[in-house]
Structure 1
């Protein structure tokens, strides 16, 4: 459980994971969807999520670089738990 908490720790990781649940997205689209996140922070969180096995980076190998991020199988399995935690926190505000 502690490992999972570390994997999703940070202000932007949960919003990134929820955005990627709908469909794989390019970095620019994620940045647009997450107003207020810096490019540096987005890149850092995507790298950490990829390292932890929750996100998969797909390089399409085209002349103009096109990279997409999507949820891995582990990320997809984690999402129901994250939805439950979100619903619990909404029902029990601080």
Structure 2
């Protein structure tokens, strides 16, 4: 069973490997950066999403893109995904 995680502020840094965050809430800022690996965010509530990769794909809710703002009156959180070699996926 997945448990919801609430993040006010934070960051995760990986040199190699994939990062996954599901069923969560970002209240302020959460930054994920990897050197080599994919970043997956699924069912994470935030107001803004920012994606950056040098070699890979950025997918926001099934479409190619690097930025998205979601109409959210209860949330002002921003999640930032960055990788040098890998994909960033927001579902």
- Judge same fold: TM > 0.5, yes or no: no
The structure that is helix-richer by fraction is: 1
Q: Does 1 or 2 have the higher relative contact order (CA < 8 Å, sep 6+)?
A: 2
Normalised by the length of structure 1, the TM-score is 0.27
The structure that is strand-richer by fraction is: 2
Larger radius of gyration: 1
Normalised by the length of structure 2, the TM-score is 0.28
